[in-house]
Amino acid sequence: MKKGRLSATVDANLLVAAQEAVERGEVDSVSAWVNDALLLKAEHERRMAALDVFLAEFDAEHGEISDEEIASTVRRVREKSVVVRGSSSPQQPRPWLHQR
């Protein structure tokens, strides 16, 4: 696919994350990391638009789901749920996900 140039200013912690991904050999370059991130964002936006269309069509055919229906479904699901605990080992911190 043809590539285009991009100049962007990003949060410093995201740049560090991209550079670390390159150092670990996960991507060839910071540009490749940014390209992957933009692709994921574009795919997410496309899926959200498709979901909006689906929900609008569902609402038009069946009517809007009421708060009572949602609460009732949540109760039924919780009654049937089984609590599963994860491992006790801590997950690697990813501070770039939480910093702004």
Per-residue pLDDT of the chain (100 residues; tens, 9 = 90+): 899 999 999 999 999 999 999 999 999 999 999 999 999 999 999 999 999 999 999 999 999 999 999 999 999 999 999 888 766 666 666 666 655 4
Q: Are residues 14 and 99 in contact, defined by beta-carbon separation less than 8 angstroms? A: no
| 47 within domain boundaries | yes
| 33 within domain boundaries | yes
pTM of the shown model: 0.65
| 24 within domain boundaries | yes
Confidence at residue 98, expressed as pLDDT on a 0 to 100 scale: 58
| 90 within domain boundaries | no
Confidence at residue 34, expressed as pLDDT on a 0 to 100 scale: 97
| 91 within domain boundaries | no
Report the 3 state secondary structure along the chain.
CCCCCCCCCCCHHHHHHHHHHHHCCCCCCHHHHHHHHHHHHHHHHHHHHHHHHHHHHHHHHHCCCCHHHHHHHHHHHHHHCCCCCCCCCCCCCCHHHCCC
| 23 within domain boundaries | yes
Note down the domain range covering 63.
12-78
The CA dihedral of 46, 50, 56, 58, to the nearest 10 degrees, is: -160
Confidence at residue 18, expressed as pLDDT on a 0 to 100 scale: 97
When divided into structural domains, the chain yields a total of 1
